[in-house]
Every structure is written in structure tokens, then in C-alpha cells.
Structure 1
Amino acid sequence: VSVSATRQSEQQLRSELLHVYHQIISMLTQASINRIFERRKNFDLRRLLFGSEKVLDGLLDVMDSDPSFMLSAVQCLPLPSSSRDALSHILQKAVTPNLVFSFLIASNRLVSVVQEKTVLEDARLKPSDLHLLCNLIRASSAFQAGEIWTPICLPLFNHDCYFYAYVAYLDPPECTVCLVLLSTDKEAFYAVAECKRKIEEAFASQNALQWVANTQFYYVDDIGVANLKHFLYKPSKVLDHHRQLPQFTCPEMEVAYRSQEERIHLLDLYRNMHNRIQSTSRPLKLIYHSTGKETLLAWVTSKFEIFTCFTPLVTKKSAISELTKLLRWIKKEEDRLFICHLPKYSITYRPTHKLLFHFHVLYGKFCGL
């Protein structure tokens, strides 16, 4: 059951409930829950969820102020493409049998992701799975204590099986840059830890952590668009990588939206626009909406969707003109704002595992159920 004081639609509230459900699945797997209730229909699942309250509470809190969930996309750390490619290359070189994904996350934003190339297209990584993984790491201080090896299910990737996640921060005690390595082998801790050691050595030799530490976040004043206060931009079909892993970008919040209440207020306005744009009964392509404090313009095309917030007295004609300037700036900065391709690597599986390059065989064998 979901009760909200915001202007969210029923569909949006259902989506949030689904994220909570998937977070529970990420800790237990669908197969194990089904098996439990087949044996005991009156089983109290809270017994298995004891201790996970911070994870679920954290998810509810972040959904209030993070547009990632509404847009079904991930936000990347702004980084020069040459630096991002170099970081990805380091991750590609540090692999071991049965390693499937390697993530580098900084300030709760995705820096780089590489994957084993035999991962099939119909089982590709979904933004929701990354949201749940990041929330799990963010909600528990235990991950800052050292190397953690824990089972985790990615529900939209495969809701019946566990991955085994190796999580370690690369910059203690600040703990802002996090390495996450996902394996299908529950006995692979030491092999995966060796991958982390190689990554740390390569980072140290190239001073790579400084590239992340020196990241230049951007504000609306850096863009040079008159009367702009904030925006959300999600490319749809500009390049193939956006279909592989949907992404979005937005500037850092200015003074007017720095408090939690103001951030929620702005996101509430975006949610209302998003709901009207995505309406199944009467979908819209362009919405101009003025309030007492701001003017909003939402525009959806086959190539992108954008939600903009301007000062209150901007006319529709002026807002569209300024939005065109914003789109030109985003296009120019695209390589810095987005991951432009998903690097892949190839590894040789241990012969004793008798693995075939097929999703159900590859992951079903290691579900641990």
C-alpha cells in the first residue's frame, strides 16, 4: 500500500511500490520466496527481512528527490570521454572467470560499466537494477568498512538467481568512489579481490582517482541559457548505447532548490508533467505550464525527452527558443555527460563448469537455490 501527499499519479505510485518489491526480491530472490510460500502459505516474510529496514527506508527517501526512478534511467558522472575510456580500459583488463559486470560509482553516479560480451541482449542491464544495487550500498555503512562479498539478485536481469557482489571503496576514508564487481561464482571472492588489487595498481600508476575527484559538475549558469533554473534530459534513440543503458543528465541544484522540501517540490512538478506526457488515454508531445514560482516546458520526441524549469514570467515562445539553445549545448557536451558505449570483455570459463553461452545456463547454474 502506498500513501502519498504529492501529486503523483496512480501509475507513478504503483511504480514506486514495484521498486520496493524489487528491492525485497534483490535480497531474497523470487524463486526462494515462491518456494517458502508454497510450503507455508501463512509465513511471515518479515522474519527474513529483519535488519533490512534501512535499505527499504532509504529507497523510499531517495525516490522522493531523485528523478532517476521517474525517468527509468541512470545519471552519469560528468567526465571527459578520454578519462572515462581510460577508466573503462582498466576495468576491462582486470577480469577473472565468471565475472559478469564491473561498475565504478562515484558520488552515487555511474562512472563506468563494463560487461562480459556473452551477456545476451534480452538479458541486458536495466537502470532499475542499478538503482537497487546503489541503494543497497548507500543504505549500509558496513560497505565502508572494507571488502564486502554478498549475494544480490538483480530482479529485472534474472529474478530467480543471485549474483555475488564484491564491493569496496577505492578512496577510504572519504568513501566516495566505489568499485562493484559481480560474479556468478560464490567461491570467487579471492579471485575477484585480485581483480580489485589490479585495478587499484592501475589507478595509482595513472593517478586515475584524481580524474574522478576533479570532476567538474555543471550548473545552469554554465550553460548560458536565459531564465533557465533547472532541467532533466534523457536521450531516447540518439545512439545505440542509450538503448543499452538509458541515461539522463541534469545540472546541480541552484540555491532556490537546495533544501529537501524544494527539491521534492520541483520533482513533484516534473512528475506531474511526466504523467501528462506519458498518459495512455491522452499522451502529449509538448506541455507549457506556468505556476506562481516557475514556468515549466516538457517536450518529448523520438530522440529525447526533456523537462525544463524557467523563471515564472517566461512566455511559451521564449521558452521554446531557449530550450533550442539548451539542446545545442547538450549535444556539444554529450561525450562528457553520458557513457557513449558499453565496453565489453571476453573471458574463458573454467572447463569444469561446462558452461554454455546461454543466459539460462550461465546464470541458472549459479543461482545458489
Structure 2
Amino acid sequence: MDWSQRRALVTGGASFIGSHLVDALVERGATVRVVDNLSSGRLANLSGALESGRVEFREGDLLDSDTIREAMEGVDVVFHNAADHGGRGYIDLHQVNCSTNLILDGMVFRAAEQAGVDKVVFASSGCVYPEHLQTDPREVLYLTEDLVQPPYAADNLYGWAKLMGELTLRAYVTEGRMKAASVRYFTAYGPRCPESHAVMAMIARALTDQDPFVIWGTGEQIRNWTHVADIVEGTIRAAEEVDDGSAINIGTMERTRVVDCASEVLAYMGKTVDFAFDTTKPTGPYNRVCDLTVCREKLGWEPQIDFKSGLHSTIDWYIANNDATAVAGSLEQMLTERRHG
């Protein structure tokens, strides 16, 4: 796809993943419009992209019908990344907030069709997978896309909203109304990621010399943390290769325990502390790792950044961009809330 001839809308484009997506589209020559209410995104995340002259930023609430209608004008491709979301602490403790995504997604898809948008690429999540399959960390499990089927059993209201978004988009495609793709993100991390996400929380704890070092749950939870650069590359490739509304896993197949991630963070930062495991806190499923067969077949690609390398570079970024005293003063609030720009 020649992105220099494309006009893209990125909803939530000032956020963590959204801003990296904007950067990548600009690098490919696209003209990009960003609409973000800055509830968790930051204009600073777009500083480089805005300097290119190919990015238009609009601050606005996409739950407002006029805002969303105007956002779609003259757009070829919509990357729908806007959502009320956060890390595990946020999505478990703010169910009502996450339920608004059901309204948001329906409004975005309807406005896109009415504006004659060619394609919508929807940022979905590993939270669409049935929770009951992901309980045993000792099981070597890789979640395949076809496991999301009736009877559905998504992860909390956040997961149900993502699932409904996928099914709605597929209906638009089936009825010939527009092209679409859904990309299921698995545990993204990297520069600009907020502390409500597990990897960043661990880095923040280490930076502030927390001792004992608190880990939510038993530490046996298995994750496949995926660097934001790979998340973005997979998203753009889905925009280029997938039209039929199908969903594709975007994640690695590296299986990493939470406690092992914490140990690597501490080792890299030269810290020696004791662990304290808090099983009263939200943990999410204990075994969440994706299968990449469909990603390889449909996109001709898979994530390239191994977790250890990506983790080290993310730690370097976090240290360079954060003050330990300031982080310590607000860390507990940031673990469960959206960080405002």
C-alpha cells in the first residue's frame, strides 16, 4: 500500500500505542488526523509527528456525534485505538468506565460507514479470549483465534466490549458495507506506556527503590509482553493485508512469568530487594500467550523484538524520562488510574 496517497484517522492517537502508530504512519508518508480527548494521552507524545506537517490534531470526545462525524471527513482508513482502558488494575476496578467502549465503538463504525471510509482497523485485545481456558500457568497454552467462539466468555466488560467490536465489524464486512480488520493486542509495553501496565509498574517500583518489592498475585502469571514497535507494525500490516473483518493475534510466543520479569528488571537496574506477593490485587488470567500461525500466514510477518532486549531499552527510556521522587509520590494512584496528560 502506498501510504503517501492515504489519509488516515487515528482515534486515541495521543495515547501510548496510538502515538507510536501515528509516528509509523508519518514515516510511511501518510497524512494523519488524530482525535483524542487527552484523558490519558499526551500532546507531548505527538511532538515529533506534529513537526512533520502531515499530522492534524483535534482534541475532542468521540462520544460526541458532531466530533466523530467531523473526524471522518476525507478519511480513507480509520485506525480505531481510542478506548477507556488501562492496565489490569484499571480494567478490573472501573467496569462502568470500560463499558462506555460499547457505545464508542458502535459510533465510530457507524460514522466511518456514513463517511464512505474504505477500511476500519480495530484495536482489539487478548481480553476477548475465554478466561476459563487461562487458569493454569503450568499448561503450555497458545491461544488461537478460533477459540473466540460461542459460547463467548470474555475478560470483564473491557473484554466484552472488544469482542462486540470485533463481531460488529465482521457484520459490516459480511453485509458489504466496508472493509475491516481486528488486531488482538497482547500485553503491550515500551516507551510512553503508563505505569498502570505491569512492566511499567515494575520499572517504577525499582526506580523508587520499593522494598519489599510488591508483585500483584503469586507472580506465577504467564504473559507474552509485546514491544509497542511490533504492535504497531502488525497493525499497519493488517491494514495492508486484511479486508474481511477477521481478527489476528499481535503478540509474541515468549512465555514469561511475572516474577521472572520483575527479577530481570531488578537485575538490569542493579537493585537487590525482597519480593512481597499481594494476592488481594487484580491479576488477570494466569496463562495468557497467543499463537501466531494466522499472523504469519496472513501478514507474512511476526514480532521481531525479544522481550529481554525490549525490556532493557524500555527501562533505559523510563529512567531517562522520569524522576524517582515524582514517581514515588504518585505511583499508587497511577497503578489503578488513567494518567492524565
Give the alignment's TM-score, normalised by structure 1: 0.23
Larger Rg: 1
Give the alignment's TM-score, normalised by structure 2: 0.24
